[in-house]
A = this chain, B = another copy of it.
Amino acid sequence: MNAAPRDASRLDLAAMVVPLGRALMAAEQPVLDDHGLTMWAYAVLSHLDETPLRTQAALAEAIHADKTRIIAVLDDLESRGLLTRRPDPKDRRVRLLSLTSEGRQLRDTVRAAVQDREERMLGQIPAADRETFLRSLRTLYEVSQSRPGR
């Protein structure tokens, strides 16, 4: 009943992916530290720019965070002039979030540094395999996010 032959001795995917994720975060940390950003703050900066979101709850969900957890992050980013948070005139319960130009600039700087480090790591796998790897990873990521708990 097993569709595909299994290599009984290979490591579980999770046993490779989870530690790799930890290592990637650790590699990013010095870059984030240099700019006084936490991982969550960087996630906010990254995500806000891609898709302008209208509610904090939607932002929290998008970066897989609890809505209560990003509030201190937003407070900090706002006080540093990296984003603005103003009540929506149409529904004053809602806070409209948008990056300032300083916020966008910082995001670009940090992202470039982060991805430079990643490129160095990706350099460990043959150039011919890189594209396939990234495409597959993206597919698995999207599948895993679209079907939570599968």
* A12→B140 contact, CB < 8 A: no
Tell me the interface secondary structure of chain A in the complex. helix
Seed contacts A10-B134, A23-B144; 9 additional CB < 8 Å A-B pairs: A2-B116, A10-B115, A13-B118, A13-B137, A14-B25, A18-B21, A18-B25, A19-B144, A27-B149
Interface residues of A (CB under 8 A from B): 2-4, 6, 8-28, 43, 46, 50, 64, 108, 111-112, 114-116, 118-119, 121-125, 129-130, 132-141, 143-145, 148-150
* A145→B3 contact, CB < 8 A: no
* A17→B124 contact, CB < 8 A: no
* B21→A115 contact, CB < 8 A: no
* A13→B121 contact, CB < 8 A: yes
Least CB separation from A138: chain B residue: B16
Of A18, A114, A143, which is in contact with the most chain B CB atoms at under 10 Å from its CB?
A18
* A20→B129 contact, CB < 8 A: no
